[in-house]
Amino acid sequence: MTAERAEPQDFDVPRFVVRARRRGDLSQRDLADRVGVSQSTIAAIESGRRDVTVTMFRLLLRAGGLRVAVVDDAGQSVVPVPTGVVRDNGNRRLPAHLDVDPPDRVPTTRLSAFRSERRAPNAWYHLREERDRRRIPGVEPEDHPTLAELEARRRRIRYGPRPPAPGVVQEPQECQCPTDCWLGTACVPDCACRCEPEMGVPGPRYLTMPNDRGDG
């Protein structure tokens, strides 16, 4: 998009709509027909006399070959939080600003109040003080995981160092496998660790607890 004279923090919806018309070679009536509104509505939007919803704004920009993007302070695109992230037993979202752990990693602050007869939680989250103690300064925290990703994280925590790939002479080291490796039964092709053989390729398996991965 061509740079405007306005300061970066300015977000002038009417002028962006004009920009979309300019880019798309559209009259107000052309744009109105594209998005299903009247020409007078487009005129009101461009004059600042009418607000638009995010959905309508996206349609207006799309007609001119533009799109809405969210960026951080460095100008890098930011994607929305994934769908399907883990929720509590009441199907409510966990607090977005807090971090979560697998259900078998009970926080020390909850051990004294933990009741085994209750239904096991899908995940635990840590309150702000404990969250801050556990976080690594300067490292952006991970998104809340899905149930499958949370299970993969639990396995990484539980098994710790894993043996090297077949034929590689080195001491066992902290596994750097991506989540996709832990969700399956072997390392994915772009894994740097390669500590699990690919499907159908002979090689030693790392030790698991009985039935933990459905292996018997």
Give domain status of residue 214, yes or no.
Answer: no
The pLDDT value recorded for residue 162 is: 56
Q: Which residues, other chains included, contact 212 with Cβ-Cβ below 8 Å and sequence gap of 6+? A: 155
Give domain status of residue 127, yes or no.
Answer: yes
CATH at residue 42: 1.10.260.40
Across 65-69, 152-156, 195-199, the highest mean pLDDT is recorded for 65-69
Q: What are the tens digits of pLDDT across the range 136-151?
A: 888 888 888 887 787 7
More confident residue, 208 or 76: 76
CA 62 vs CA 52, 55, 132, 157: distances in Å: 14, 11, 41, 45
Q: Nearest CA to 20 among 70, 71, 59?
A: 59
Section 119-142 average pLDDT: 80
Kindly indicate the confidence band of residue 8, based on its pLDDT and cuts at 50, 70 and 90: very low
Residue 119 pLDDT exceeds 60: yes
- Clarify whether residues 149 and 171 are in a common domain: no
Average pLDDT, the chain: 75
Give domain status of residue 213, yes or no.
Answer: no
The pLDDT value recorded for residue 2 is: 43
The pLDDT value recorded for residue 158 is: 66
As a whole number of angstroms, the distance between CA 148 and CA 70 comes to 28
Section 175-199 average pLDDT: 68
Kindly indicate the confidence band of residue 213, based on its pLDDT and cuts at 50, 70 and 90: very low
Locate 162 and state its tokens.
């894993």
Domain around 183: 160-207
The answer to whether the pTM exceeds 0.85 is no
Q: Give the total number of structural domains in the chain.
A: 3
- Clarify whether residues 36 and 61 are in a common domain: yes
Give domain status of residue 137, yes or no.
Answer: yes
Q: How many CB atoms lie within 10 A of CB 45?
A: 23
The pLDDT value recorded for residue 208 is: 34
| C-alpha torsion sign, points 49, 54, 56, 59 | positive
